[in-house]
Structure 1
Amino acid sequence: MKPSDLMSHFGCKTRRELSKKTGFSEVTLWKWEKNGIPPRTQATFEVLSQGKLKADLDALTT
């Protein structure tokens, strides 16, 4: 899962919009763009989206 996937799912065009909709700071979202979304966070988004967003299984095993 990438931040762009979250933006599409939540219908956001900017990091600021995504920050407001998810409750994560813009700095956190920027870090996710650079380093990837942490595995547990990906899994949380997968559950909250009822499977519409998919966690990266390779990231979950590391």
Structure 2
Amino acid sequence: MSVPTTTMRIDPELKDEANKVLGELGLSLSGAVTIFLKAVVREQGLPIDMSIKPDKTDESNR
């Protein structure tokens, strides 16, 4: 099965740091992106919390 190539623009420093972490987990950047995209499809959205939470000092003022 032939898999098409996808090009992404990623900050080089971020890519290096992520590759270090992923390497320790036994994953490639491509493998990690695949896992993320499968989670997006499964969840029908981002698989992480994307909320804006109020500052704790704001809560104490209420």
TM over 0.5: no
Report which of the two structures shows the higher radius of gyration computed on alpha carbons.
Answer: 2
Normalised TM-score (structure 2): 0.30
Greater RCO (CA < 8 Å, at least 6 residues apart): 1
